[in-house]
Amino acid sequence: MQAGPKALSERTTEEVEAAALATKLADEMLAADAFIFSVPLYNYAVSQHAKAWIDLLVTEPRFTVKVPSPISKRPAYLISARGGAYGPGMPKEGWDHVTPWLRRIFEDNWGLDLQLIDVELTLADVNPAMASLRDLAAFNLKQAHAAAKQAGEQLAARFTKSLAAEPGQA
């Protein structure tokens, strides 16, 4: 069994293409000043799309857990959409396996300055069994919109202040 990545000459075409895609994703992350991740809860877990993206990105040498994060301390927002209710006191409390896992990646591995914006009960308007929760769902959505607006304003202020502090910037 080989320890570590294969030599470039030993890689298949698919492995070379996957490594190139991982490098492209890493370059995109490095070029960003801030991040907005919108990730739904699908069947109590992270969506395959988000999982595949993260799985590929962490294969890139600059984003492995073996090196200090090159994007540490950058602002990030995790918007989590859930069809039901998984918060404190709810019957499905503790069934959200997305947020804790993403926090491990975004905060612990990559060192991002992460803020959470949760949107719950998104299925209340289309699921007759959840009809009694529609007012709560509307309230929850309104709160999430307010939190997103506040986060956007804070981010704009942060970057405006940062730009003003740079020499030669107007």
Q: Element (H or E) spanning 39, and its range?
A: strand 35-42
Q: What is the distance between the alpha carbons of residues 71 and 47, in angstroms, rounded to a whole number?
A: 23
- The tens digit of pLDDT for each residue in 123-144 reads 999 999 999 999 999 999 999 9
Residue 4 has a pLDDT of: 60
Instruction: Determine the pLDDT at residue 27.
Output: 98
pLDDT tens digit sequence for 1-31:
455 677 778 889 998 999 999 999 999 999 9
> Topology of domain 17-165, per CATH?
Rossmann fold (3.40.50)
Sign of the CA dihedral running 6, 8, 9, 15 = positive
Question: Whole-prediction pTM value?
Answer: 0.85
Q: Counting Cβ atoms within 10 Å, is residue 164 exposed (0-12), middle (13-18) or buried (19+)?
A: exposed
pLDDT tens, position by position, 64-84: 989 999 999 999 999 999 999
Which DSSP string do the residues of 54-102 spell out, in sequence order? HHHHTTSGGGSTTS--TTTT-EEEEEEE-SS--STTSTTTT---HHHHH
Q: Tally Cβ neighbours within 10 Å of residue 20.
A: 10
Domain ranges of the chain: 17-165
What pLDDT does 164 receive? 77
